[in-house]
Amino acid sequence: MFKYKYLCIFRFAAAAALVCATAVAQAQPAYPRKPIRLIVGFPPGGNADASARLIATRMGDALGTTFVVENRSGAGGSVAAQIASRAAPDGYTLLWSSPGALTINRIMEHNLPYNADTAFTPVGRTFTFCNALIVRPDSPLTTVAQLVTYAKEKPGQLQYGTQGVGSAGHLSAQMLQNVAGVSLSHIPYKGGGELVTAVIGGEAPSAFVSTLAAGAMRSRLRVLAVTCQQREISLPDVPTMHEAGVKSYDASFWFGIMAPAGTPAAIITRLNKELRDALTGAEVDKLARSQGLNPAPSSPQEFAAIIKADYEKWKKVIGRS
């Protein structure tokens, strides 16, 4: 009788716990139940904005909600990152970011309004991309080896253009100087169009531009190399910098999605799944490559490791701690 009594109590308690757990689960609202804000740290019209909107549309369809893309450019992505870092960690504010806000600005600016180490939780990487080293078609520099030799013979005299300090092009050139042991002179421009025009017009003897721009203007430019580790699909006959003689050179870049720190793990997992699905298929592959981007999905953990490795790499290249 004694054993039967306590067995009944145990069964009752277990049943009650199950009922309570079910009630709590049912009481919690499903995610998402409202639009999701995606803050993009770049102006409208570029490949960052175009790719963000592509993924936002696909993820929104899969999640049954709307992604509201909000362009908040400025300070190399730090403006957008600051806004996202202060948002509620509920899965309704996300950041479309690049190395600028999460690694480069940490090295170049010591008073960021957010802590890049602790302010965000990675959702996943989206795309990778790289740059191309270009010169005029009539330039006497026909290979990377010739350019490096010239730069060594005349330190600081060879000028190169980029889209500005801290840009992917500027970092690509910094890595060339670091790996090849040369000194170049930087000319910052306001945008890719102005930069390409400067090279064509002879104002800038060389430049680092997007592979998209290099491919589109190839009839009027000479493309010496791409800055990534593998050859670019859109420029299959152009060697990598490593192949061109600058050994161990790798200036690859990425876009990815971050969430404010403290966002529930279940939401991060759900977002990562939908992000991976959004990056698959022939349609997204074609659209991405038309913007000079390569789909490169990752897990949150893999993305965190990529960001950490990038920080260490660029800290050595830029030469600041």
The helix (H) or strand (E) run that includes residue 68 is strand 67-71
In the CATH hierarchy, which fold is given to the domain comprising 36-129+253-318? D-Maltodextrin-Binding Protein; domain 2 (3.40.190)
Residue 18 is predicted with a pLDDT of 46
The CATH number that domain 131-226 falls under is 3.40.190.10
Asked if residues 80 and 255 have their Cβ atoms less than 8 Å apart, the reply is no
Residue 20 is predicted with a pLDDT of 43
The helix (H) or strand (E) run that includes residue 257 is strand 253-260
Give CATH 3.40.190.10 domain extents, the chain.
131-226
Residue 29 is predicted with a pLDDT of 62
What DSSP line would sit under 12-38, residue for residue? HHHHHHHHHHHHHHHHSPPS-SS-EEE
Residue 259 is predicted with a pLDDT of 98
Beta bridge partners of 222: 135
DSSP 157: T
Averaged in consecutive runs of 10 residues, what is the pLDDT profile of the chain (321 residues)? 46 46 49 97 87 96 97 90 98 96 90 94 97 96 97 97 90 96 94 90 95 92 96 93 95 97 98 97 90 95 97 86 44
Residue 231 is predicted with a pLDDT of 93
Residue 219 Cα distances to 205, 214, 222, 235, angstroms: 17, 9, 8, 13
Asked if residues 271 and 259 have their Cβ atoms less than 8 Å apart, the reply is yes
What is the pTM for the complete model shown? Answer: 0.85
Asked if residues 242 and 162 have their Cβ atoms less than 8 Å apart, the reply is no
Residue 11 is predicted with a pLDDT of 52
Residue 320 is predicted with a pLDDT of 53
The C-alpha atoms of residue 108 and residue 165 are separated, in whole angstroms, by: 10
The helix (H) or strand (E) run that includes residue 273 is helix 265-278
Give CATH 3.40.190.150 domain extents, the chain.
36-129+253-318
